[in-house]
Chains A and B, each alone.
Chain A
Amino acid sequence: MADTSEESIEIGHLPEVDPLIHAPSRLKVMTYLYVVDSIDFVFLKRVTGMSWGNLSTHLTKLEEAGYISISKSFQEKKPNTMIQLTDQGRQAFRDYKDEMQEVLGNLPE
């Protein structure tokens, strides 16, 4: 029991990571969006390997948090959805990266 309390004290010092980005599927989406200027729904679905519904759900959550912007248009009479990381989302991803490096960097061998 003593060990557990020590652990909880240590964990209490850990920086809080953004739970919205930390979910594996959203982390994958954010990572792909981080390396491009913008990407459409079809390309993102293809590279992430997610289903339409799953990807749409994660994008909605990220959009509600202000991390991404979604713009819809029609190209040659077909719907096209472009997704882009906002400045806030880009900063949040950088912060997440720094926090994770801090968390993992402080782990004992």
Chain B
Amino acid sequence: MSEEKISIYRADREIFRSAFDDGLVDILLSSFVLMWAVAPWLSESLGDFWSSAIFLPIWGLVFIAVALVRKYWIRPRAGVVKFGVARKKKLTAFTWIMLILNVLFLVLGMLAFFNPVVSPWTRMLPLAVMVLIASSLAGYFLDVPRFFVYGLLFAGGFFLGEWLYQNYGFAHHGYPVVFGILTVVIFLVGIYKLITFIKENPLLDEEQLQWEAKNG
């Protein structure tokens, strides 16, 4: 980084990306995709509602685990940054847009799945479009382009799963296989980025801490 050219735009992007690019968001995201892989199986024993609802406490636990890792592992290595007004406004806008999109996502998903008239292919279209919009916005606002790729894979997963189901008889519209693989891929990317981050940013030793207390 020290060899790079100096630019205000680049500095802004560099700081923002380095604050989020530790792999933890990927790990959190993989827990969301996991629901699409496992819920269809669970629905046989738990029913449609509880097979999805059971993931709320699981997401809660993953969220707490991620927050703890960030607090005790990442922050001492990464340091702390408070963003400027422009970035804060962008993050606030992103939070609101994602909240609205998620509500729309939920309503459209329920309408599509509980409407027996439309074909399976048509049912997936609003879901796929919403996933693509949400992931594109996340990639843009958080400055992490791979989220767009995740969105493409996720949206395409609905159609690939249905194709596998109709042509090869894969169970549960192919979701366990397609989204299971996607969960593993996103999780591994997250783990790889987390390990790389920890390797590249070792913890400060006692001597450095004392030095910072005195001179930093």
**Band of interface residues on A:** 20 to 34
Residues from chain B with a CB closer than 8 A to the CB of A46 are 18, 78-79, 201
Beta-carbon contact of B8 and A31 below 8 Å:
yes
Answer whether residue A61 sits at the interface, using C-beta atoms and an 8 A cutoff: no
Distance from A85 Cβ to chain B, minimum over Cβ atoms (Å)? 10
Is B7 a contact partner of A37 (Cβ separation < 8 A)? Answer: no
**What number of B residues sit within 8 Å (CB to CB) of A?**
33
Partner of A28, one of B6, B81, B82: B6
**Cα–Cα distance between A56 and B19 once the two chains are bound (Å):** 22
Q: Is the CB of A14 closer than 8 A to any CB of chain B?
A: no
Binds A, one of B9-17, B27-35, B162-170: B9-17
Question: CA of A79 to CA of B11 in the docked complex: distance in angstroms?
Answer: 26
Give the Cβ gap from A61 to chain B, nearest Cβ, in Å. Answer: 14
Determine how close the nearest CB of chain B comes to the CB of A67; give it in whole angstroms: 16
- Cβ of B79 and Cβ of A56 under 8 Å apart? no
| B11/A81 in contact, CB under 8 A | no
Known: A27-B6, A48-B1, A80-B80. A42 touches B204 (CB 8 A): yes
B213 proximal to A (CB < 8 A): yes
Interface hits, B75-107 → A, CB 8 Å? 76-85, 87
Contacts of B15 in A (CB 8 A): 32, 35-36, 39, 43, 47
B45 within 8 A of A: no
The answer to whether A35 touches B211 (Cβ under 8 A) is no
Chain B residues with CB under 8 A of A56? 215-216
* Minimal beta-carbon separation of B8 from chain A (angstroms): 6
Known contacts: A32-B15, A37-B84. The answer to whether A43 contacts B209 by CB under 8 A is no
Minimum CB–CB distance for B130 against chain A, Å: 33
> Which A residues between 38 and 86 are near B, CB-CB below 8 angstroms?
38-50, 52, 56, 72, 78-82
A105 interface residue (CB < 8 Å to B):
no
Report yes or no: B80 in contact with A31, Cβ–Cβ below 8 A: no
Chain B interface secondary structure, helix, strand, loop or mixed? helix
Contact of B84 (CB < 8 Å), options: A27, A35, A43, A72: A35
Q: How far is the CA of A79 from the CA of B79 in the complex (A)?
A: 11
Q: How far is the CB of A6 from chain B (nearest CB, A)?
A: 31
Which chain A positions have C-beta within 8 A of B8?
31, 34-35, 97
**Nearest CB to that of B3 among chain A residues?**
A49
Nearest CB of chain B from residue A39's CB, rounded to whole Å: 5
Q: Nearest-CB distance from A59 to chain B (Å)?
A: 8
Contacts A36-B15, A36-B84, A37-B82: A79 and B2 contacting too (C-beta < 8 A)?
no
Docked complex Cα distance between A43 and B12 (Å): 13
Cα(A41)–Cα(B209), bound, Å: 11
Q: Which residues of A contact B77 (CB under 8 A)?
A: 42
- Residues of A at the B interface (CB closer than 8 Å) are 24, 27-28, 31-32, 34-50, 52, 56, 72, 78-82, 97
Q: A31-B11, A41-B216, A48-B1 are in contact. List 10 more A-B contacts (CB 8 A).
A: A31-B8, A32-B14, A32-B15, A35-B8, A35-B12, A36-B81, A42-B78, A43-B15, A47-B15, A47-B18
